[in-house]
C-alpha cells in the first residue's frame, strides 16, 4: 500500500475544519482573506467547503494567522465532533 486514501473520519474532520474557518472569517471576503494569507482564493474556498480534508500545515497556519485563531484551539476543536457553543451531551 502507498498513500492510503482518506478515511471517512479524516473527511469529516476536514469539514469541521472548513466550517470553523468560515465561521471565524465572519464578514471578511474570501478574496481579501486569501490574499492576506497568501493562498489562492480557490484553495481557501475548497478548504472552507471541506473539499480538502488534509490541507498543508503552512496553509492552515497562514489562514489561522490572518483570522487570529490559535492552531492548538483549531486542532482541539476539529477533533471534537461537537462545537463548544453547541454541546449536546
Partner DNA sequence: TATTATCCCGGTACTATTATCGGGTCATGG
Partner DNA sequence: CCATGACCCGATAATAGTACCGGGATAATA
- In contact, 48 and 22? CB cutoff 8 Å: yes
* CB nearer its own copies, residue 49 or residue 54: 54
**Distance from C-alpha of 83 to C-alpha of 89, rounded to nearest angstrom:** 11
Return the range that interacts with DNA (CB under 7 A); candidates 2-10, 66-74, 78-86.
Answer: 2-10
Stretch that binds DNA, among 43-51, 66-74, 80-88 (CB under 7 A): 43-51
Phi-psi region of 5 (alpha: psi -120 to 50; beta: other; left: phi over 0): beta
The footprint of its own copies (CB under 8 A) covers: 10, 13, 17, 54-61, 65, 70-72, 75
Amino acid at each position: 500500500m502507498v498513500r492510503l486514501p482518506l478515511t471517512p473520519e479524516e473527511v469529516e474532520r476536514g469539514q469541521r475544519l472548513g466550517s470553523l474557518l468560515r465561521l471565524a472569517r465572519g464578514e471578511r471576503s474570501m478574496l481579501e482573506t486569501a490574499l492576506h494569507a497568501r493562498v489562492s482564493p480557490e484553495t481557501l474556498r475548497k478548504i472552507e467547503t471541506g473539499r480538502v480534508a488534509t490541507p498543508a500545515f503552512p496553509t492552515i497556519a497562514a489562514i489561522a494567522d490572518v483570522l487570529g485563531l490559535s492552531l492548538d484551539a483549531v486542532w482541539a476543536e476539529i477533533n471534537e465532533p461537537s462545537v463548544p457553543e453547541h454541546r449536546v451531551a
